Structure 1
Amino acid sequence: MKTIQLGTSTLEVPVIAVGCMRIKSLDKKEAERFVQASLDEGANFFDHADIYGAGTCEEIFADAIQMNASIREKIILQSKCGIRKGMFDFSKEHILTSVDGILKRLNTEYLDILLLHRPDALVEPEEVAEAFDLLESSGKVRHFGVSNQNPMQIQLLKKYVKQPIVANQLQLSITNANMISNGINVNMENESAVGRDGSILDYCRLNDITVQPWSPFQFGFFEGVFLGNEKFPELNENIDEIAAKYEVNNTTIAIAWLLRHPARMQPVTGTMNIERLKDCCKASDVQLTREEWYAIYRAAGNVLP
């Protein structure tokens, strides 16, 4: 498994992050096999959130990996906080309480990375800074990032927060590629030219923030996967042809498309199927050509000016 540097941190992380949102769907033995298979693939970066399974996903993971000091040194743990029922909450009290709960459920003394999950309209960045300082000084969190935030929201945090923002987890896939499309269609009179994120992709590249694409196989907002979907015949035909060339399957190519981007992204998988996870990991060894990348982009209905 190839690795990248996470933001400006000293962390070298696998190019594939293993999302654990659905681990609750596995029984104990299945969860153990899945986690071990991830480690066997070199995918030792596990992404969590305190709301996944109302916290039970973190507990299931800790049990499946049989968490202990020796195991902990071999893995990288990331979790997220800030979503509450009917609201978002970046208050100092909520962040600190959330992290304590995450650490307890994961049976660990520290997180490698904590992300703020969804932008809080009532955020007081001074409180976030205080929370981050306490978490860092206590050794509970080593690195910090955000999720689903635009450049100005990050800038506002950075005005007060002294720790580097190392990652931004954002929805991105071949069919949900507006953050790429609006950069290609600058000043054009078409839908693709509409910027909805403040040029977040360029901002992250300029500031050495690692983009972590979530839902890399989804179209719309959890409407379904585009692979094998009759709604996307041209895209699937194109992906299948390229997959045959590299002797991999379509899952691998969908992830390889993200990895081909020079932003050096770290896609977050969501599958609990071991074979599909292996297919995702194979993307680490596939380097699409520029022609192939653009062919897939266009086949998804994305517009070139």
Structure 2
Amino acid sequence: MPAALPLRTHFIDASPLVYGCMALGGDWNGGPITEGDIAQAHAAIDAALDIGITLFDHADIYRRGKAEAVFGEVLRRNPSLRQRLRLQSKCGIRFADEHHVGRFDLSADWIEASVNGSLQRLGVERLDILLLHRPDALMEPAEIAHAFARLKAAGKVSHLGVSNMHAGQMRWLQSALGEPLVVNQLELSLAKLDAFDAGTTFNDPQAVSRPGAAAWAGTLEYAQQHGVQLQAWGSLAQGRFNDRAASPAAQAVHEIAEAHRTTPNAVLLAWLLRHPAGIQPVIGTGNADRIRACADATRITLSREEWYRLYVTARGQALP
């Protein structure tokens, strides 16, 4: 049985995995990119393409713009690469500075300025997908819809999606849009189970679900019903399961990996791929060998029993 793929999305990308580019571009100090940064980025892009990844995920803030800039330099030196990949970037987070606190900004002016900056750094004319990075408390759906319409009419953005938004926020935003949201990128992993718990423990007042799980009620279901592609950032759980002695869940991950003759990281990705929502895990390592190793996740399929063993063990308590 092949790994789960997106089935009912408005924006179809055949790759089960997404490459997240946050590790590219050197440090976060805003200095110039180096030849070493360019070489690392080129190796990472090649490795991702080698295992069938075609969608590359950026954000205007990654490495303070340097992730997009180094990617753009690789494309400039290798123009044929652009036809082999799709580009996604995010906007809406603004860092603190000497005059302002850190904040979220989904105003039309900031969205359009951010897209123009991303296009300039990437050296391309169009983003295949623009994601709104975080829900801005002051966001106005009609204003966002008008900004997107202007960007699309100018040929700068093809599709719109969101990141870190729950079902209610997607529904509210969608009410003002003339075309469907295509992506929602959430933190989903064996260490971040809120969205899954929201669907399994909602009716049990005795269940001690993870804090905040209730906020995600209906989010996975909304995405499946409305053809919104779910993407999982943090899919490898920041290495929490690397040491098999760290927890019962880590032990289970390693035992299942051994049974499938694969790596623990492949099991973590396969756990997400097994979900019927067709979740696309985002992998963010800058190491080319580790990127290639992730291909194993698409060659295995966890059984229902293995999936639930990992889920329940990671929860740390039985299901109700």
TM-score, length-scaled by structure 1: 0.92
**Could you tell me how far 1:225 is from its partner in structure 2?**
2.5
1:70–1:57 distance in 2 versus 1, CA, 3 Å:
same
Matches within 5 A, 1:1-305: 4-5=5-6, 8-25=9-26, 27-66=37-76, 70-85=80-95, 86-188=102-204, 189-192=206-209, 194-218=213-237, 224-229=238-243, 232-300=246-314, 301-305=316-320
**Could you tell me how far 1:179 is from its partner in structure 2?**
0.9
The whole-number CA distance in structure 1 between the counterparts of 2:90 and 2:217 is: 23
Give the gaps of 5 or more residues in structure 2.
27-35, 96-101
- Number of equivalenced pairs: 300
Q: Deviations over 1:208-239 (max 9, x none)?
A: 11111110122xxxxx4212247742112211
The whole-number CA distance in structure 2 between the counterparts of 1:43 and 1:181 is: 29
Q: Deviations over 1:230-284 (max 9, x none)?
A: 7742112211111112111101001000000011011111111222212222211
The whole-number CA distance in structure 2 between the counterparts of 1:166 and 1:131 is: 17
The whole-number CA distance in structure 1 between the counterparts of 2:289 and 2:317 is: 30
The whole-number CA distance in structure 1 between the counterparts of 2:3 and 2:209 is: 32
1:289–1:208 distance in 2 versus 1, CA, 3 Å:
same
Tell me if the contact between 1:9 and 1:143 (Cα under 8 Å) persists in the aligned partners.
no
Tell me if the contact between 1:181 and 1:302 (Cα under 8 Å) persists in the aligned partners.
no
Amino acid at match of 1:22: A
Q: Deviations over 1:105-157 (max 9, x none)?
A: 00101011000000000011111011111111111111110000111211111
Give the gaps of 5 or more residues in structure 1.
219-223
**Could you tell me how far 1:198 is from its partner in structure 2?**
3.1
The whole-number CA distance in structure 1 between the counterparts of 2:231 and 2:143 is: 25
1:231–1:175 distance in 2 versus 1, CA, 3 Å:
farther
- Residue matched to 1:221: none
Moved more, 271-280 or 144-153: 271-280
Amino acid at match of 2:111: I
Q: Deviations over 1:63-101 (max 9, x none)?
A: 234466532121010000011121111111111111011
- Give the RMSD, CA atoms, in angstroms: 2.0
The whole-number CA distance in structure 2 between the counterparts of 1:260 and 1:68 is: 35
1:79–1:285 distance in 2 versus 1, CA, 3 Å:
same
1:138–1:7 distance in 2 versus 1, CA, 3 Å:
farther
Q: Percent identity?
A: 39
Amino acid at match of 1:176: K
TM-score, length-scaled by structure 2: 0.88
The whole-number CA distance in structure 2 between the counterparts of 1:201 and 1:232 is: 29
The whole-number CA distance in structure 2 between the counterparts of 1:172 and 1:57 is: 23
The whole-number CA distance in structure 2 between the counterparts of 1:280 and 1:302 is: 29
The whole-number CA distance in structure 2 between the counterparts of 1:64 and 1:293 is: 39
